[in-house]
Amino acid sequence: MPVETDVLVVGTGPAGASAALFLASYGTRVVVVTKYSKLSQDPRAHITNQRALETLRDMGVEDTLMALATPWELMGTTTFCTSLAGEELGRIPSWGTDPARHADYQLASPCTMLDAPQTITEPVMVKAAQDRGATVRFDTEYLRHVQDDEGVTTTVRDRLSGLEYEIRSRYLVGADGARSKVAADLELPYEGPGAVGGALGIVFRADLTHLVAHRPSVLYWMLQPGAEKEGVGLGVLRMIKPWTEWMIMWGYAVADGPPELSDEFVRELAVGLVGSDDFEMEVLSGSPWTVNHHFATTIAKGRVLCAGDAVHRHPPTNGLGSNTSIQDSYNLAWKLAHVIAGTADPALLESYDAERAPIARQVVERANQSIADTGRIMAALELTDTTDTEALERQLALRRAPGPEGDKVRAAVREAIAYKAYEFDAHGVEHNQRYASGAVVPDGTPMPPYERDHQLYARPTTWPGAKLPHAWVTRDGGREVSTLDLVGHGRFAVVTGVGGEAWLEAAAALGAERGLEITPVAIGPGLPVDDPYGTWADLREIADGGVLLVRPDCYVAARHLEAPGPDARAWLAGALDAVLGRA
């Protein structure tokens, strides 16, 4: 007898762990398999952006993560230097810690930015998923699958006993990372040059407080001989725990293969990056990884849907990998839950590909562009090759020298570092993901234009296909909550104001009729939620009595700009049916 479940998820990385958490929280039966006996021991992804944290806030695990993670205020002084103890070329305040950007971040989300390596996020997500009913099987390797009209039969191998067995599920989620066998078996089409470089990731313990605590950051970038070769653009020391645990990122030529990580090699690399040998170190792990430029242009076929690095493979620049993986799963999980519960037509699942495949392309291109942008620092110093140490020294000296040539280099370096805002403050990249699919009902209005750079600045809007804007509103005697807290939790919501009672009545009736829970949200004077600052009124882009139909992933599915007429119920029914694939 095969094991039976509704959804089988392959992988317990950020994509798989979050898929399990979302599905289990929505009450969907889910089994998760991973081929290893443990969760990730490698602190790879760490920058956790507000948008990913919002999804985990929706699941009630934000506080747990915040208690374990490095807080926002320690994330931000990205420093460019020759070594930690060496010459500083400049700094760029990052991840919204610049006072000039902090308000943008605070206005966009109820969440902070966080530094939470995968060694923190995966256990939190997996434990919460298990607590909510997910079954997790370690040492269980996905081998192959066959899909038919009713479901998917997946063959897995128990790596302890060697026994192979089948798991029968209605849907299969391939969250098995950059070497995804699920995606390969599905023959998903990919674009992009593929592997474009190699990098070493070496984790070590060393107390470097005296060199960094005065300029707290998660990333210190080193311009050193050979540092710009392949890799992420320069040599990097990344903070894992302030200021005693670190990761070295250093490029190597893929064509030559990774160097042997002998004790001497690693020590020499660390001493070079620190710029002193006056420290004790304990190496914890070391492994090579590939700098990729590769994305799937179709991310699902039939009953098999892929998420995370399985469909977008790119370098860690911009910190988009795990964040995007979690958001893939957030987009997918409510759709699976509704289809499985019978409240949506399977056609709804087509919107997963339509909405997330363009995001896969976008993040892969952004992350690779950020490596290219680091080259501007080299260009500013008029360097083509750091291995010419004489030229490197000469140009660094020129930057310190009086006179017009020095002025030119100084200005160029400042400008090149400031340009890295597209990597370290790309708030728009994180927040402006818009969806166009069958699960969004256009209202005939054009997408509101970006008044500021769309990569750097979040542009809140209630335009169908955009995430519901965050605003602090009040309920329960003046207690502040985010508008995002009023929606989500796996349910649709209707958001209206004074004069919108007919929307709430229509939602209640339609919900009962279709077996759907639709959360009523009424914001305004005399209503359950008030808007004392008027922020929501400024952001909502609808009249007091207009309505937003909000999906369980907090995206606006449809909106009616004006107060309801006699057709409120018909309009809402039409919008719901369209989104749920029943039109």
For ligand FDA, the closer CB: 242 or 465? 242
Contact status: 224 vs ligand FDA (CB under 6 A): no
Shortest CB 298 distance to ligand FDA, Å:
17
For ligand FDA, the closer CB: 249 or 300? 249
Shortest CB 412 distance to ligand FDA, Å:
28
* Beta strands 135-137 and 30-33, pairing class: parallel
* Total residues binding ligand FDA (CB under 6 A): 35
Among 289, 419, 450, 472, binds ligand FDA (CB under 6 A): 289
For ligand FDA, the closer CB: 34 or 362? 34
Segment (H or E) for 106: helix 99-108
β-strand partners of 201? 249, 287
User: Within a 13 Å sphere around the CA of 554, how many CA atoms are in the beta-carbon half?
Assistant: 27
Shortest CB 581 distance to ligand FDA, Å:
27
Among residues 70, 324, 103, which one has the least CA distance to residue 218? 70
Q: Is 131 exposed, middle or buried (0-12, 13-18, 19+ CB in 10 A)?
A: exposed
Among residues 16, 14, 24, 18, which one has the least CA distance to residue 6? 24
Token pair for 19: 């898929």
Alpha-carbon dihedral sign for residues 128, 132, 134, 138: positive
Shortest CB 167 distance to ligand FDA, Å:
11
Shortest CB 107 distance to ligand FDA, Å:
22
Contact status: 13 vs ligand FDA (CB under 6 A): yes
Contact status: 433 vs ligand FDA (CB under 6 A): no
Among 12, 79, 224, 343, binds ligand FDA (CB under 6 A): 12
Shortest CB 455 distance to ligand FDA, Å:
17
Contact status: 10 vs ligand FDA (CB under 6 A): yes
> Segment contacting ligand FDA (CB under 6 A): 56-64, 222-230, 303-311, 447-455?
303-311
Token pair for 114: 């966080």
For ligand FDA, the closer CB: 171 or 571? 171
Interior CA angle at 477 toward 481 and 562, to 5°? 60
181-188 long-range contacts, Cβ below 8 Å, gap at least 24? Answer: 181/142, 181/143, 182/10, 182/142, 182/145, 182/304, 182/306, 182/310, 183/296, 183/306, 183/310, 183/311, 185/144, 185/145, 186/301, 186/304, 186/306, 188/296, 188/298, 188/299, 188/301, 188/306, 188/311
Contact status: 321 vs ligand FDA (CB under 6 A): yes
Q: Is 346 helix (H, G, I), strand (E, B) or coil?
A: helix
Cis status of the peptide bond prior to 243, with omega within 30 of 0: yes
Among 77, 83, 323, 351, binds ligand FDA (CB under 6 A): 323
Shortest CB 111 distance to ligand FDA, Å:
15
For ligand FDA, the closer CB: 201 or 581? 201
Among 7, 8, 15, 186, binds ligand FDA (CB under 6 A): 15
Token pair for 31: 């089994």
- C-alpha to C-alpha distance for 346 and 300, rounded to whole angstroms: 13
Q: Is 195 helix (H, G, I), strand (E, B) or coil?
A: strand
For ligand FDA, the closer CB: 142 or 536? 142
- C-alpha to C-alpha distance for 225 and 188, rounded to whole angstroms: 40
Contact status: 319 vs ligand FDA (CB under 6 A): yes
The pattern of x and - marking residues 27 through 66 that bind ligand FDA according to CB under 6 A reads: ------xxxx-------xxxx-------------------
- Residue holding tokens 């490197």? 392
> Segment contacting ligand FDA (CB under 6 A): 14-22, 63-71, 353-361, 414-422?
14-22
Contact 319, 45 (CB under 8 A): yes
Token pair for 267: 């020590």
> Segment contacting ligand FDA (CB under 6 A): 101-109, 320-328, 330-338, 540-548?
320-328
For residue 284, what are the contacts with CB-CB under 8 A and spacing of at least 6?
A: 203, 204, 205, 245
For residue 402, what are the contacts with CB-CB under 8 A and spacing of at least 6?
A: none
> Segment contacting ligand FDA (CB under 6 A): 267-275, 307-315, 383-391, 441-449?
307-315
Shortest CB 328 distance to ligand FDA, Å:
8
Q: Is 216 helix (H, G, I), strand (E, B) or coil?
A: coil
Contact status: 72 vs ligand FDA (CB under 6 A): no
Q: Using CB under 6 A, which residues numbered 122 to 161 contact ligand FDA?
A: 141-142
Q: Is 521 helix (H, G, I), strand (E, B) or coil?
A: strand
Phi, psi (degrees; rounded to nearest 5) at 272: -60, -45
Q: Is 215 exposed, middle or buried (0-12, 13-18, 19+ CB in 10 A)?
A: middle
The pattern of x and - marking residues 238 through 267 that bind ligand FDA according to CB under 6 A reads: -----------x------------------
Contact status: 417 vs ligand FDA (CB under 6 A): no
Shortest CB 517 distance to ligand FDA, Å:
29
Contact status: 308 vs ligand FDA (CB under 6 A): yes
Q: Using CB under 6 A, which residues numbered 160 to 219 contact ligand FDA?
A: 175-177, 181, 201
- Residue holding tokens 């280099």? 409
Contact 302, 368 (CB under 8 A): no
For ligand FDA, the closer CB: 323 or 374? 323
Contact status: 23 vs ligand FDA (CB under 6 A): no
> Segment contacting ligand FDA (CB under 6 A): 313-321, 382-390, 519-527, 557-565?
313-321
For ligand FDA, the closer CB: 200 or 572? 200
Contact status: 75 vs ligand FDA (CB under 6 A): no
Can you give the binding site for ligand FDA, defined by CB under 6 A?
10-16, 33-36, 44-47, 118, 141-142, 175-177, 181, 201, 249, 289, 308-310, 316, 319-323, 325
